[in-house]
Structure 1
């Protein structure tokens, strides 16, 4: 959603085209910062599962806010886009780190990295 439809999501709040494009930058910056913090934290604590779950919860809360609020609540809807990008950037990175650390065999790591990287964009994502 964040990669393909963030512009349309922000545009539904009836901003002008220029403002809609400018308002796309801030959620991506926050998503990048959250990705860096979460990656550092998961490496520091050597734990991936709770960090992944927390990221998915952020996306879920952001989507619920967008669904529940009327379009006239622009501030809350814009905040929901921050939650969605903060949660959506992290799982692919942590997922690949997790399956690489869980396989001691280098051949297995290479196979999993290639197959998971190829299948991840086409796999159905469900919470």
Structure 2
């Protein structure tokens, strides 16, 4: 499963870089979102993809019984998802305002701020 996820992550990173190298600012933001999703998958894959029970210690024991899932990567990815959503919302508003002012989404045409 880790090998398949490595290929998926590689494809996502490659497509994100390709999208971010385009001239359209919309494609830049889409590439940034794909890049953040690839980074989240990378965190999950590197931390070990094990199916297990929640890391709860039963009463009377000193350690969890059986295989447990690591909650730290899940917490990191959840935080990264929330931050990526905030960045996406900001970028959409920024793109909308830039399109209103300049009248194009081409990054090469946005070099001049005078309209």
TM tier, smaller: 0.3 to 0.5
TM-score if structure 2 supplies the norm length? Answer: 0.38
RCO greater where, 1 or 2, for CA within 8 Å and sep 6 or more?
1
